[in-house]
Amino acid sequence: MTVSAHGPVDVVCLGESMVTFLPTRAGRLADVPSFLRGIGGAESNVACALAAAGHHTRWVGRVGADGFGDHLTEAIAAYGVDTSAVTRDPERPTGIYFRTATDRATDAHEVQYYRAGSAASAMSPRTVSYDALWSGRMLHLSGITAALSSDCLALMRDLTAGRDGRPLVSFDVNHRPGLWRDPSGAKVLLELARGADIVFVGEDEAQEAWGVRGADAIRDALPEPAVLVVKRGAEGAVVYDRCAQGLPDTVTPAPAPHVTVTAPVGAGDAFAAGFLSATLRGLSSRERLRHGHLWAAATLTVDADLAVPPSAVHADRLVALDDDAWGRLHLGPGWTGQDQEVRTP
């Protein structure tokens, strides 16, 4: 195992990160006069959240030899993430995007991407270091990368192929229909998920992508992963853990706590990071799901795509609540800090 300046690598995350421009006020993109710069990327979000919680993470990506590439690598490294395996492309730019301030689920929400031909789209089995990718206890991927280019898809297929010696592979389906050039994307995502060890998928996206309705039906469509996490929005999540051959899965549900939502962006990445953090700690299935919910709640209660997760001591105390107390838990802005807003009425 590779040892970084901070110790052995826990999780390696591969994917495109972009500079994101966030509006200074609500309204159409045509009407917003100015934007604030941030960073965005599903896999780098996971790496940053895990690093903020004290895990040793590495982000593997490809950025342009430009100022936006400088900003991305510096901002991600500031969370404590190892960016030594990030490569620079002198011929292709760093991807950027602009979005409105409205909820992504509404028709008023706009996102304008400038990522076609980006440096990240040139990632392939030839341009990415496998030593870096296989240097941690886990490798975290998402379906977004597969949609960027044929080279990226070839890389994803190679990384999810069964082979001896690979780390534990975590895969977040992240179905983004707008990124795929043809309808085959949904089938490709199912293929990639079948090669992973831990899979995250939303009930709604499984229905949209594969026409599969309900958690049990999703498990029937994805029997291969040792761990399948089906996210059910505000209702919570359920995890399917494969048992010994011939025995049925262990199925563990965990409702989500009540959350006063400030902004819904980034919650899925935070949930995955919280679940993986608890997995690294060897916690039970229910505890893994509850940590995922708490990390998602940390992001839901801030304006940014990224939030510092709750401390392990604080989260462990909440995770240990009995079912009745957990069901009464209500998390609002500031709940992870000194002035916690945690109510159990």
Cα–Cα distance, 234 to 170 (Å, whole number): 23
Q: In what order do the strands lie in the sheet with 18-23?
A: 35-40, 18-23, 96-99, 111-114
What φ, ψ does residue 285 adopt, rounded to 5°?
A: -60, -45
Q: Is 323 a catalytic residue?
A: no
Among residues 269, 323, 324, 339, the one annotated as catalytic is 269
CA distance 334 to 307: 11
Compute the distance between CA of residue 51 and CA of residue 249 in angstroms, rounded to an integer: 31
**Long-range contacts at 47-50 (CB < 8 A, ≥ 24 apart):** 47/11, 47/13, 47/76, 47/79, 47/81, 47/140, 48/76, 48/79, 48/81, 48/306, 49/269, 49/270, 49/273, 49/274, 49/295, 49/306, 49/307, 49/309, 50/10, 50/11, 50/273, 50/276, 50/277
Distance CA(57)–CA(258), nearest Å, equals: 30
**Residues with a known catalytic role:** 269
